[in-house]
A = this chain, B = another copy of it.
Amino acid sequence: MIKLEIAANSGFCFGVKRAIQIVQETIRQNSKVATLGPIIHNPQMVNYLKNRGLCVLDNINEITDETIIIRSHGITSYEYKKLLEKEVNIVDATCPFVKKAQKYAQKLTQEGYHLFILGEKNHPEVKALLSYVDDSATVIANPEETIKITGKRKFGLIAQTTQSEDKFERLAINLLKECEELNIIKTICNATLLRQKSTMDLAKKVDIMIVIGGKNSANTNRLAEIAKSKGCKTFHIETSNEIKKQWFDDVSKVGITAGASTPKWIIDDVKKELEKLN
Please report A residues at the B interface, Cβ cutoff 8 Å: 169, 172-173, 176-177, 179-186
Whether B180 and A176, one on each chain, are in contact in the complex, defined by CB atoms closer than 8 angstroms, is no
> Known contacts A176-B186, A181-B184; can you find 5 more A-B pairs with CB under 8 A?
A172-B172, A172-B176, A181-B186, A182-B186, A183-B183
Main SS of the interface on chain A?
Answer: mixed
Whether A180 and B172, one on each chain, are in contact in the complex, defined by CB atoms closer than 8 angstroms, is no
- CB-CB nearest in chain B for A153: B186
Whether A180 and B169, one on each chain, are in contact in the complex, defined by CB atoms closer than 8 angstroms, is no
Distance (whole angstroms) from the CB of A154 to the closest CB of chain B: 9
Q: Could you pull out 12 A-B pairs where Cβ atoms are within 8 angstroms?
A: A169-B173, A169-B177, A172-B173, A172-B176, A173-B173, A176-B184, A179-B186, A181-B183, A181-B184, A181-B186, A182-B184, A184-B184
Distance (whole angstroms) from the CB of A144 to the closest CB of chain B: 15
Q: Which residues of B contact A184 (CB under 8 A)?
A: 176, 181-184
Whether A181 and B185, one on each chain, are in contact in the complex, defined by CB atoms closer than 8 angstroms, is yes
Q: Which residues of B contact A180 (CB under 8 A)?
A: 185-186
Q: Which residues of B contact A169 (CB under 8 A)?
A: 173, 176-177
The CA-CA distance from A169 to B178 in the complex, in Å, is 12
- CB-CB nearest in chain B for A187: B180
- CB-CB nearest in chain B for A172: B176
The CA-CA distance from A203 to B184 in the complex, in Å, is 34
